[in-house]
A and B are shown apart, each in its own frame.
Chain A
Amino acid sequence: MPMPLPKEVLTAVRAMVVLTVLLGLAYPAVVTGVAQLTMPDRANGSFIASDGQVTGSRLLGVAPTLDTGKQDDNGDPVTAPDPSFFQPRPSATGYATDTSYFSNRGPNSDTARQFYKEEAAAYLALNAPTSPGLTVGKIPIDAVTTSGSGVDPEISKANAAIQARRVAAARGLPPAQVAALVRKHSRGRFLGVFGEPGVNVPELNRSLRNLEATS
């Protein structure tokens, strides 16, 4: 015998309420509780600090910049990439950590071509002095394409090697010392198979800050 309609309407409403308590309150609460008790650092955002100051998250790549002292049309200060730190991949969001969106540049978009030309020129201006022979065609592709999230924490090993020479020169450090830091923060593929190898920019830059602090 099927339920009478009014009784079934009541059952449907009860089911939504009961399942909301189970799946919308109890389940997230238990997951939160276990995560906060056993791995609070990761559950809260993988923040990293140097000198007791939180400098960002290990998982969010944010560009270290220098103030140029100039102002743009809106009166906002104009910044430039700081050559003495590693620079993450280009970002469509200005490395925003509180909002995210894609660049949505299409494959046959003329504005995309224009963007790549500008990014390549900027990368060469920053790195060619310390990497003679670097041309547009030799720039690692990750260095001039925008990441999906706008805050990709990693760069390719080729990109890191080029930037390491610049960072060493800017800091007056032996290139071998910076190259060793890059190796320390490099990561292979998962199980040697899955994903792409990369170098973590926030951790690398924290190590550079720590060097400053100890020297």
Chain B
Amino acid sequence: MAQGILQIALFCALIVAIVPLLGGHMARVFRGERTFLDPLSGRLERGTYRLLGVGGRGGRWEPDPQDWKAYARSVLLFSAAGWLLLFVILRTQSLHPLNHGDFRSAPWDVTFNTVSSFVTNTNWQFYGGETTMTYVSQAVGLTVQNFVSAAVGLAVAVALIRALAGRRVPTAGDPDAGAAAGTIGNFWQDLTRAITHVLLPIAFVAALVLVTQGVLQTLGATAHGVARGPVASQEAIKELGTNGGGFFNVNAAHPFENPTAFSNLLEMLLILAIPASLTMTYGRMVGSRRQGWAVFGAMSLLFLVSVAVVFAAERHGTPAQTIAGLHGVNLEGKELRNGSTMSALFTAVTTVTSCGAVNSAFESMTGLGGLVPMVNLGYGESVFGGVGTGLYTMLMYVLLAVFIGGLMVGRTPEFLGKKIEAKEIKLVSLGILVTPLLVLLGSGLALATKYGAPSIYATGPQGFSETFYAYLSQANNNGSAFAGYTGFLQPDAGNAGSNGVTFADVIGGLVMLAGRFVPILIVLALAGSLAGKRAAPVGAGTLRTDTGTFAGLLIGVVVLIGALTFFPALLLGPVVQGLTDHLF
């Protein structure tokens, strides 16, 4: 017990140490300032501009800041181009070089689901990587989307921060020109700098560190019956970009993805690093670190509660184990080197963020333990959340909390000096409600019609949990699974003779696309609306948003909305199982 708590406490201390460092670095990156990485990253950045055809002499580029509509158009065009390219790559597997296993392409519906999954930073996987994906698909297709989908999330979050900060964008001439014109930055610049100054340098170092632990990095074919591939380069960005799509079917439970206690620790840190640090980036860019710490504090508290519950739950065996006469922790579907503690912590880390990588089987957790990932997803990925997506979701909750607080004290709500009016609150309400709506529509359709049945593996309440979790995970762009739920039937490796479950694949793909791009459009519209507003000086009656009290109010709003939306569904699945020893 004490040993487990010590592990968790030290992990949290490491996160708190990373936040100001990485958060500060990202603030400099997105303000367009020089960073210590400039000798290498700056060169890559300028080279990218030159190849994009926008850079001038030496690749230097002073981009025009975009208003929200132009920014949104760039996001959508870029994501559409990425979707099409990935679709082409995955549909042409039989032509790929280094296709050692002669893998064909998966059925079209599975490809639709997979492509939508990776472009939306979800990484929901109906397929098993080592038996269906060529090295080219993994590295040139999926790894690239792991980078760029994370970078898009970062860019959108930074655009919202700029709108709130009301600063000029980094490159405009006049200090107030940007804000006055309602501009929120330039997408192509944000995208490029996110990759060259943040994601790529960290992923490169992390990949090599993972190889020292035994993570594979080879282009060689299966040898001695062992499936292999370029794993480390994908593993590093899969965690850092909160993508979560494993090279292997069992994800980070596989010894070749996550071989040691050290690699496990590193991977958990990579998952939380950017989402947690962005709170500090936000604090710095709006000119008050306390604002950042308040958001970080609210997120941390919700995170700690979920860690405590799943940690305590997995220290006990499941009813099936107890009735069979066994004693000990729940190790079903877990790896010994991680044990119940590091499996529980990884579960909390990967579900508060929208990562969705797993180092143990969610389906085999205790009822109460399995409740934790569901509740975390029910918060709408606002507790740390995905790279970028988490912060902008939480900032929508912040605006809602400010609005509710304003109603309580009877003043026009304002946030960071900017008046929050009907238009903003309408956008926030839509932005917060669209994801739950997708979850309930998707799982409702799957459970109420006959089309959902072929995907369900378990009987009883567990079958419900699988289905509900599938749409919860896809709508929130998380990607973890109660893995009994299937959309792909594959008799042999290599996709020959395989079939997709079209309903699950197509509905899931649409849910992921809507769960990603509808909130992004709403957030950018919100940014556009806020960017044009004048900031009033702080007065005596201003509701302070950098205090513990406000963090408490924020937690209340997040929990209340999650509970009101998902309580009935949670009762039907994991709560039933947590309360009974009955076997199904």
Contact = CB atoms under 8 A, between A and B. Distances in A.
Interface of A: 1-3, 5, 8-20, 22-25, 27-28, 30-32, 34-36, 39, 42-47, 54, 56-60, 89, 97-110, 112-113, 116-117, 120, 136-142, 144-156, 189-190, 193-196, 198
A60 B226 contact: yes
A9 B53 CA distance: 13
B78 A112 contact: no
B514 interface: no
B208 A35 contact: yes
B148 A105 contact: no
B484 A104 contact: yes
B232 A31 contact: yes
Given A11-B54, A45-B226, A148-B253, 15 more contacts: A12-B81, A18-B48, A31-B232, A32-B233, A35-B218, A42-B213, A60-B255, A106-B458, A117-B324, A140-B328, A141-B327, A152-B337, A193-B7, A194-B261, A198-B336
Contact of B233 (A28, A103, A105): A28
A58 B218 CA distance: 17
Nearest to A151: B255
A19 B195 CA distance: 9
Q: 4 smallest A-B Cβ distances: which pairs?
A: A195-B261, A141-B328, A148-B253, A196-B339
A136 B324 CA distance: 9
Nearest to B249: A100
A194 B584 contact: no
Given A31-B232, A152-B336, A109 B584 contact: yes
A97 B361 contact: no
Contacts of A100: 128, 130, 248-250, 253-254
A212 B167 CA distance: 74
Contact of B203 (A19, A27, A109, A150): A27
B130 A105 contact: no
A98 B131 contact: yes
Contacts of B476: none
Nearest to A59: B255
B144 interface: yes
Interface residues of B, number: 123
B342 A149 contact: no
A149 B335 contact: yes
B413 to A, nearest CB: 32
B217 interface: yes
Contact of A2 (B70, B213, B321, B462): B70
Main secondary structure of the interface of A (DSSP, over half): mixed
A198 B140 CA distance: 37
B81 A16 contact: yes
Contacts of B233: 27-28, 31-32
Nearest to B321: A116
B228 A44 contact: yes
Nearest to A32: B217
A196 B230 contact: no
Contacts of B40: none
B324 A20 contact: no
B90 to A, nearest CB: 13
A5 B70 CA distance: 10
A99 B494 CA distance: 11
A107 B319 contact: yes
Given A27-B200, A116-B324, A195-B339, A42 B333 contact: no
Contact of B337 (A1, A105, A136, A195): A195
B299 interface: no
A31 B255 CA distance: 19
B326 A46 contact: no
Interface stretch (B348-356, B364-372, B418-426, B504-512): B364-372
